[in-house]
Chains A and B, each alone.
Chain A
Amino acid sequence: AQTVTQSQPEMSVQEAETVTLSCTYDTSENNYYLFWYKQPPSRQMILVIRQEAYKQQNATENRFSVNFQKAAKSFSLKISDSQLGDTAMYFCAFMKHVKRGGADGLTFGKGTHLIIQP
Chain B
Amino acid sequence: GAGVSQSPSNKVTEKGKDVELRCDPISGHTALYWYRQRLGQGLEFLIYFQGNSAPDKSGLPSDRFSAERTGESVSTLTIQRTQQEDSAVYLCASSQSASGTYEQYFGPGTRLTVT
Contact = CB atoms under 8 A, between A and B. Distances in A.
Note whether A and B form a binding pair: yes
> A interface, by DSSP: helix, strand, loop or mixed?
loop
A37 to B, nearest CB: 8
Interface size class of A (residues with CB under 8 A): 20 to 34
Contacts of B44: 108
B97 A102 contact: yes
Nearest to A97: B102
Contacts of A50: 101-103
A85 to B, nearest CB: 18
Interface in A3-45: 4, 6, 33, 35, 37, 42-45
A105 B108 contact: no
A68 interface: no
Interface in A87-107: 91, 93, 95, 98, 100-107
A106 B89 contact: no
Interface size class of B (residues with CB under 8 A): 20 to 34
A100 B100 contact: yes
B108 A43 contact: yes
B56 to A, nearest CB: 7
B98 interface: yes
Counting chain B CB atoms within 10 Å of each CB, the highest count among A6, A108, A109 belongs to A108
Interface of A: 4, 6, 33, 35, 37, 42-47, 50, 91, 93, 95, 98, 100-111
Q: Sort A-B residue pairs by CB-CB distance and give the 5 closest, nearest first.
A: A105-B45, A45-B106, A108-B42, A103-B31, A103-B50
11 contacts: A45-B91, A50-B101, A98-B97, A98-B102, A100-B97, A102-B50, A103-B56, A103-B95, A106-B33, A106-B104, A111-B42
